[in-house]
Each structure stands twice: as C-alpha cells, then as structure tokens.
Structure 1
Amino acid sequence: MASGPWTTRRAERRALLAAALAAPFVRPAPASAAAPAAGGDASCGHPLYLTLDTGHMGVAPLIAEVLQRQQVSVTFFAANERTQAGDGSLGAYWAPWWKARAAEGHEFASHTYDHVYWRRDLPGSPPRFEVRPSAGPDEGRSFTWTGAQYCEEIARAADRLREITGRQPLPLFRAPGGKTSPALLAAARAGGWAHVGWAPAGFLGDELPSETFSNEVLLTRALQHIRGGDILVAHLGIWSRKDPWAPAVLEPLIAGLKQRGFCFRTLREHPGYRDWIATH
C-alpha cells in the first residue's frame, strides 16, 4: 500500500488502540448476583451487544455460520467497502449474503456509504467538517461537508441496506474509526441519527497487528474483561491483520461468554438506544 497522510493516520490509530489494549486493566467491582448487569432485562440478565462492521468480507461466510450455529443475533454496521471478492460490501455480489442475514433476524445500521472518516471540525457557523472517504470513487480525498451532507452520507448506506434486505435499518450509525466530535454528533442527531461506539473491553482487537496481539491474547483478554451491557465491535475482515481474527476467536469467544452467563442482543434492545429507535 502506498504511504502518505492517510496511511500514517491509520497507523497512528492502530498504535493508540494497541496502547489502550496493552495498558493495565483495572477490573470494576463485580455486579451483584441478585441484580442484572447494566443493560439487563427480565429475559436476559447479562446482555452483550455484538456489532460487526464491514471490511473485506473474506470471513463473512464463516461469521454467518458461527452466528447461526451459536444462535446469536448481532447488529451489522455497513459501508460499501472494497472487498476480496465482488463489487464492494454493499454491491450486487454480496446482496444475497445481507438478505440471508436479514432473514435470520439480525439488525442493520449505517457505517456511512463510502466509509467516510471525520477529520476535524472547521471554524464558522453553521458547523462544517473536514471528511475523507476511505472507499468509493473519492477514496483518500478530503472534503468540506455540512452536517446535512454528512447525514445524507449516513442515509445512503441505510437506503442501500433497506433496498437489499427489505428491512428498515436502525436509525443509528457508527462513524468509521469511531472518530467524531460533539458538533458532528449533534448534527447527526438533528438529522435523525444516533451514534454507536463501543465499550473499552468491547474492542475485540481484530484491527491490531497479529505479530503483537495474537488471537490467543485477544481471546483471553476479552473473556476476562467483558462486562454485562458492553457493546462489542469486530469486523467482516481486516486487510492488515496477517493472522485472521474471526476463524480463531469468534466462536470460542461467544461460547466462553455464554458459559459465563452472558447472552446476546441486538441494539434494538439496548436501553441506551431503544427509546430513540422507537421514536425515529
């Protein structure tokens, strides 16, 4: 891959995530056995919310098999990213895959259509933002967008998901890299979109270099540190990781968390989002 500001920014992000994962972990006090963990409900005292962002899609069939075998429902955040096979993760090639996931009861939300990164807020009023797509015809170019333009980009992915699956996506989005600002989040909410991040322990590490963070290390840390109510994040394939995460970690992680008494729910049931979803 060619070097440049975009490559440098991705490397910086991976370094920050690696540092956070490698930092000493201070475990919070255990939840009372008599009370459900944060985000609990009557049918699931210790829910977790597994979310999967798009990627190169090379492990997507395997992930679908694991989810079906384990009877786990997730929320997919989709962008039209470059893929190992086909015409993009929201292209015609992958449309049957998404339709099958809809039939299985999974939920869907936008990851912006061209995987557009927020870079910084720009001075002036109304708010404007420097953004940079990492997919699509304008990959790697910087643009100045208004909040309305950013909301249109969120809606593009949601509209494509609805077209493919026949289901209305959730009025949620995840900014690529989780990169946002208060002004961007306010603009998105004004347009009807609530942002979804993830819990610190919910960063499952599939973006990190396998030379430094082996699958065994990532699995062990996740099983030790994940708490009830956490939103978890992984991807449908990461180009940069040499030892793919999903084939080695996903099913042992799900099985291990179930053994610890956790269950899995979609974001439609998350207490922080269900009222928003019901009214939008």
Structure 2
Amino acid sequence: MGAVKSLLGGLAGAVAVGAMAASSALAAPACKGTIYLTFDTGSQSQAEFIADTLKKHQIKATFFLANEKTARGDYSLDASWGPYWKRLAAEGHLLGTHTFDHVYFRKANADGTITVRPQFGANAGKDLSWTPAQFCSELKRVDARVKEFTGQGVAPLWRAPGGRTNPVTLAAALDCGYRHVGWAPAGFLGDELSSEAYSNDALLKRALRDLRDGDITMAHLGIWSRREPWAPGVLEPLITGLKQRGMCFATLKDHPQYRDLWK
C-alpha cells in the first residue's frame, strides 16, 4: 500500500510539474519579429560592456572583425584579444571577417583590379592595386587569426569597411566563400555620429521607432570620435524596448538571406 501511495504521489508531482511547464510555455509571448544585432570592431572601448549586456539578456549577435587599433593601445586581433573572441564564440555569437587591415574599397580599374586603402597595417593610408585573389586573401587573414583564438574559422560572412562594395569585391568574396552583409536603413544605430548633434536619447528613440522585423543593425565595439559612448546609454534600453514590442534576437545564421550558407 505504501508503494502504491508513493507511486501515486510521484505521478501527481510529475503531472504538476508538467502543468507548470505547459503554463510557462503558454505564458511566453510569441515573437512578433526578429532583429539581428551586428557589431564591427572599432576602438574596443565598449567591447566588454557589449558582451556582458548580451549575456545578461541571453542574446546572440554577429561580430565582424578587423585588426583595428584599440583604446588599450594594442590591436583588436592581437593575442591580447584572443580570450575575448574565444568567449564570444563559446557563448554562441557568430564571428565574420571585416578585412584584416580594415581595407576600404576606393575604385574599380579597367584591368580588373581594384584600388583599395588599408586603414591599418604596413600599408596604412596608401592606395594599393589588388587583384580579386589578393582581396580574397585579405578576408581570409581574419579567418586564420580567429582559428588561432577559437579553434574554428569565421562564419562565411564579411562586411566591407564603410559598407563600400563593388561587383569585383562582392564576386571575389563569394568565390572564396564569403557573402556580404550590409544593414537596414533603420539598422544604422548612429554610434559613429557626433554626440553633440545626435544624443544617445535621440538615437535610441529613432531605433525603437523605426526598426522592423528582419532588420540587421550595425554598431561598433567603440568609436574614437564619439564623446558620449553609445553602448552604455543605448544598448540595454534598446534591447528592453524591442523586447517590449515583442521582438526576438538571433545571429545571421537564422536570417532568411544567409541561413542557406549553413545547409
């Protein structure tokens, strides 16, 4: 008889737990849309804050990496930043390439080459003539460095510095396995703008007003020129406000335009 009571008690407990789980699932609001947060390297002054905020809210984002000078005096793909990139990969974020030396496209040439200008590295500030193969190699330099840090390469995604692309660079990147990622008009979060002309409050209000389902955002891990740091004032209230609108968040691995790259 005691065994029967024990069994019945166990079943009752299991039913109660199941009912609570079902109730919780029903209570969880369905997503009314998905926002895809992306971040480019920069001064890295807000890098830790951004990572901590995403972890706090259990949000996965996509990061595009270049070897840029940081507020610590080193460069963002130096070994000193290895633990940071390893952390992001371990927490489920995607890492993509932003060209190693933050290379800007300048113009296409009649002979099929392109003129580019690296912002960092041995040729910083110089106009160079590159073949498509050389451009591909520049994208892959980031992949090689990330493998050293995380044991795996970057996602098959790249972002051009300044968003400046050309049919030659787009085709060269596709040939070596990378699809370009831009951002939605409303997804430009404004952290590069003057804080005197565009306060954090104004940028936050604009983003909350204009962002829509499927939009890809773009901000940086710190910007040298902005006096009022963007991330501490905007990121968390932006996440909270979008959640209140019923928005969910995902990496570009789930974006309709890019998910086929993982099939």
What's the TM-score once normalised by structure 1's chain length? 0.81
Name the CA distance, whole Å, in 2 between partners of 1:231 and 1:214. Answer: 22
The amino acid that maps onto 1:102 is: A
Q: How does 1:2-81 map to 2 (within 5 A)?
A: 44-81=31-68
Show the counterpart of 2:115.
Answer: 130
TM-fit CA distance, 1:183? 2.4
Show the counterpart of 2:246.
Answer: 261
The amino acid that maps onto 2:124 is: E
Show the counterpart of 1:121.
Answer: 108
Moved over 2 A (4+): none
Partners of 1:86 and 1:94 within 8 A in 2: no
Partners of 1:80 and 1:115 within 8 A in 2: yes
Residue 170 (structure 1) aligned with residue 159 (structure 2) = no
How many residue pairs were aligned?
234
Name the CA distance, whole Å, in 1 between partners of 2:262 and 2:179. Answer: 9
Show the counterpart of 1:238.
Answer: 223
User: SS where residue 117 of structure 2 aligns?
Assistant: strand
Superposed CA offset, 1:200-243 (max 9, x none):
00000000111111101000000000000000010000011111
Partners of 1:47 and 1:264 within 8 A in 2: yes
TM-fit CA distance, 1:162? 1.9
TM-fit CA distance, 1:168? 3.0
Partners of 1:132 and 1:142 within 8 A in 2: yes
Partners of 1:199 and 1:232 within 8 A in 2: yes
User: SS where residue 238 of structure 1 aligns?
Assistant: coil
User: Comparing 234-243 with 187-196, which one deviates more in the overlay?
Assistant: 187-196
Name the CA distance, whole Å, in 2 between partners of 1:196 and 1:211. Answer: 29
Partners of 2:31 and 2:246 within 8 A in 1: no
Q: Greater share of helix residues, 1 or 2?
A: 2
User: SS where residue 243 of structure 1 aligns?
Assistant: coil
Show the counterpart of 2:141.
Answer: 156
- The structure whose Rg is larger is 2
Show the counterpart of 1:94.
Answer: 81
Name the CA distance, whole Å, in 2 between partners of 1:247 and 1:179. Answer: 28
Segments of structure 2 that go 5 or more residues without pairing to the other structure are 1-29
User: SS where residue 228 of structure 2 aligns?
Assistant: coil
User: SS where residue 80 of structure 2 aligns?
Assistant: coil
Q: How does 1:157-236 map to 2 (within 5 A)?
A: 157-236=142-221
What's the TM-score once normalised by structure 2's chain length? 0.86
Partners of 2:37 and 2:249 within 8 A in 1: yes
The amino acid that maps onto 2:217 is: L
TM-fit CA distance, 1:86? 4.8
Superposed CA offset, 1:122-149 (max 9, x none):
112xx21000011122111110001110
Show the counterpart of 2:71.
Answer: 84
Segments of structure 1 that go 5 or more residues without pairing to the other structure are 1-42
Q: CA RMSD in A?
A: 1.2
